[in-house]
């Protein structure tokens, strides 16, 4: 059911991402983190290589390389810089959702600009201060007016909120619950849309995270994405794919952490020999190695199923919960292996641990993933 060897296209995308990430992203990663610098140049470089719309068709400006190629590219970029990777992840997700659910006019307007870097990023505006794990409780509302809609409300935790060229925005158009929610496309800089403060995060400090206030934002009728009242399902389907992306991101971060920990264990000597000669460290490395491979297999299985067009929600959640929790363990062990050097900025281990921490939280917490898995198992 799954090929373990990437095909020619997947290998090309992987190698392209690897070489760009190692040459142009990795050398800047520490400074991007330290200076909280939004990685404009790195994102434009990724766009020039087709990596901001990997799974969007070439007719819409994308690479058309599929979900597996996207996951492989995400692992490479995240290994170099997790902040750049999350911005890439959300932009890819926005392009995919517009290509899949948009009218031809909507897709032709927005997808090429997301793909070619005309927009530095796209944003996904679902969460609210009182509606995080439970987006069905959202309060942001769109009111019908002649020729369009007027949106009022507040969104929170919006990745690239300050830079996005287009926002996919969920708002209530009907009664309470998940059935009363619709989805809209709102251009960056729309009148009445203001971007709140940039959150001072533990990690992913080069990625922008902001709140958004919609104060009478007027959009035309053709800004509605998909069916009226069909917004919640669009969000869930987009998140299924997004969860594969975050799984891949966590795998990339953990790969960097483990490789650096192994190099350090071979180099650092205590008691007259490399610390990697001690079984205590060998067991940590062995556990990390096995967990990382298991994560990769779960991620590639979910991506393969998505690419084949079969239901993959459960597999995406299994991949996300397992790989992000494993990645946290792996990054934590990497700090431990580095000893005191793991706790200072001279080595990247501490950055990996800060960056990876959020992966069990965003795009659905570990607890939400377990709800999805358990519901399907018990059905
Ligand atoms: N694909 C397609 N449709 C889906 C779906 C999916 N993956 N998941 C749910 N739906 C549909 C259901 O079939 C149901 O349809 P009907 O009303 O026709 O029966 C509808 O959506 C409502 O589903 P459900 O009743 O399961 O919704 P819940 O409110 O119970 O929510 C969870 C379920 C918890 C899984 C959902 O709210 C969730 O994913 N929460 C986390 C949100 C998140 O990831 N936030 C992070 C945002 S990005 S930082």
Q: Given a cut of 90, is residue 176 above it in pLDDT?
A: yes
Ligand 1 geometric centre to CA of 178 (Å): 8
Clarify whether residues 221 and 239 are in a common domain.
no
Contact assessment for residue 341 and residue 275, using Cβ atoms and an 8 Å cutoff? no
Q: How confident is the model at residue 108 (pLDDT cuts 50, 70, 90)?
A: very high
| Closest CA relative to residue 177, chosen from 131, 223, 239 | 131
Domain boundary residue, one of 88, 119, 150: 119
Nearest Cα residue to 246 out of 101, 132, 130, 77: 77
Q: Is the CB of residue 336 below 6 angstroms from any atom belonging to ligand 1? A: no
DSSP string, 245-286: HHHHHHHHHHHHHHHHHHHHHHH-EETTEEGGGSHHHHHHHH
Same structural domain, 246 and 363: yes
Residue 2 lies in a domain: no
13 lies in the same domain as 52? yes
Phi-psi region of 209 (alpha: psi -120 to 50; beta: other; left: phi over 0): beta
Does residue 376's CB lie within 6 angstroms of at least one atom of ligand 1?
Answer: no
Q: Which domain holds residue 190?
A: 123-229
Number of domains observed in the structure of the chain: 3
Segments in the chain forming alpha helices (H) = 8-20, 26-34, 40-48, 67-80, 82-101, 104-115, 231-267, 279-308, 313-338, 349-357, 366-378
β-strand 273-274 against 269-270: which pairing, if any?
Answer: antiparallel
Distance (angstroms) between ligand 1 centre and the Cα of 237 equals 8
Same domain assignment for residues 144 and 59: no
226 lines ligand 1 (CB under 6 A): no
The pLDDT tens digits for 114-134 are 999 999 999 999 999 999 999
Separation of 347 CA from ligand 1 center, angstroms?
40
Please spell the DSSP secondary structure of 123-134, one letter per residue. EEE--BTTBSS-
Residues 114 and 128 in one domain: no
In whole angstroms, give the CA distance from residue 125 to residue 164: 11
Is residue 306 assigned to a domain?
yes
**244-296 residue pLDDT tens:** 999 999 999 999 999 999 999 999 999 999 999 999 999 999 999 999 999 99
**Residue 224 sits in a domain of what CATH number?**
2.40.110.10
pLDDT digits (tens, 9 = 90+) for 319-373: 999 999 999 999 999 999 999 999 999 999 999 999 999 999 999 999 999 999 9
Q: Give residue-wise pLDDT tens across range 61-101.
A: 999 999 999 999 999 999 999 999 999 999 999 999 999 99
pLDDT for the residue 4: 76
Distance CA 351, CA 341 (A): 12
What's the mean pLDDT when you consider all of the chain?
98
Start-to-end CA distance of the chain, whole Å, equals 24
Query: Does residue 260 carry a catalytic annotation?
Result: no
Q: Is residue 132 part of a domain?
A: yes
Which residue, 80, 99, 119, sits at the end of a domain?
Answer: 119
Cα-based angle 355, 299, 356 (whole degrees, multiple of 5)? 10
One domain for residues 153 and 283: no
Q: Over the stretch 143-163, which tens digit does the pLDDT of each residue have?
A: 999 999 999 999 999 999 999
Q: What is the CATH classification number for the domain harbouring 113?
A: 1.10.540.10
Q: Does 26 share its domain with 57?
A: yes
Residue 356 and residue 82 in contact, taking contact as beta carbons nearer than 8 Å: yes
Q: What is the mean pLDDT of residues 27-41?
A: 98
Q: How far apart are CA 83 and CA 46, in angstroms?
A: 13
Q: What is the rounded distance in angstroms from the CA atom of residue 356 to the CA atom of residue 291? A: 15
Clarify whether residues 82 and 42 are in a common domain. Answer: yes
Structure tokens at 187: 């251009």
Give the Cα separation of 377 and 102 in Å (integer). 32
- Choose the final residue of a domain: 229, 244, 273: 229
**Whose CA is closest to atom 21 on ligand 1?**
233
Establish if 63 belongs to a structural domain.
Answer: yes
Shared domain check, 47 and 20 = yes
Residues 64 and 169 in one domain: no
pLDDT at 2: 64
143 touches ligand 1 (CB under 6 Å): no
Annotate 86-154 with DSSP letters as a single string.
HHHHHHHHHHHHHHHHS-HHHHHHHHHHHHTTSSS-EEEE--BTTBSS-GGG---EEEEETTEEEEEEE
Residues 303 and 373 in one domain: yes
Share above pLDDT 90 across residues of the chain, in percent, rounded to a whole number:
98
pTM for this prediction: 0.98
Q: Is residue 315 part of a domain?
A: yes
């Amino acid at each position: 059911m799954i090929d373990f060897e990437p095909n020619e296209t997947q290998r090309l995308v992987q190698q392209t991402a690897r070489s760009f990430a190692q040459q142009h992203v990795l050398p800047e990663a520490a400074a991007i983190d330290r200076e909280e610098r939004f990685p404009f140049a790195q994102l434009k470089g990724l766009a020039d290589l087709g990596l901001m719309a990997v799974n969007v068709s070439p007719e819409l400006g994308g690479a058309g390389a599929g979900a597996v190629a996207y996951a492989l590219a995400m692992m490479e970029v995240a290994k170099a810089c997790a902040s750049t990777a999350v911005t890439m992840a959300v932009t890819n997700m926005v392009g995919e959702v517009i290509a899949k659910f948009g009218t031809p006019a909507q897709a032709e307007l927005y997808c090429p600009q997301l793909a070619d870097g005309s927009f530095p990023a796209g944003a996904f505006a679902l969460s609210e201060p009182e509606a995080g794990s439970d987006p069905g409780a959202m309060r942001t509302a769109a009111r019908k007016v002649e020729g369009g809609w007027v949106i009022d409300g507040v969104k929170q935790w919006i990745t690239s909120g300050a830079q996005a060229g287009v926002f996919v925005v969920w708002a209530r158009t009907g009664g309470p619950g998940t059935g009363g929610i619709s989805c809209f496309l709102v251009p960056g800089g729309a009148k009445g849309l203001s971007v709140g403060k940039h959150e001072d995060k533990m990690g992913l400090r080069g990625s922008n995270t902001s709140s958004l206030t919609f104060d009478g934002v007027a959009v035309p009728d053709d800004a509605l994405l998909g069916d009226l009242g069909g917004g919640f399902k669009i969000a869930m389907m987009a998140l299924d794919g997004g969860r594969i992306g975050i799984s891949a991101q966590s795998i990339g971060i953990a790969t960097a952490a483990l490789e650096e920990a192994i190099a350090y264990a071979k180099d650092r000597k205590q008691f007259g020999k490399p610390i990697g000669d001690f079984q205590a460290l060998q067991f940590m490395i062995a556990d990390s190695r096995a967990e990382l491979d298991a994560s990769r297999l779960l991620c590639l299985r979910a991506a393969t199923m998505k690419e084949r067009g079969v239901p993959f929600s459960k597999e995406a959640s299994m991949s996300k919960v397992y790989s992000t929790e494993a990645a946290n363990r792996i990054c934590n062990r990497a700090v431990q292996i580095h000893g005191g050097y793991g706790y200072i900025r001279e080595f990247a281990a501490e950055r990996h641990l800060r960056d990876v921490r959020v992966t069990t939280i965003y795009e659905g917490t570990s607890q939400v993933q377990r709800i999805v898995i358990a519901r399907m198992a018990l059905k």
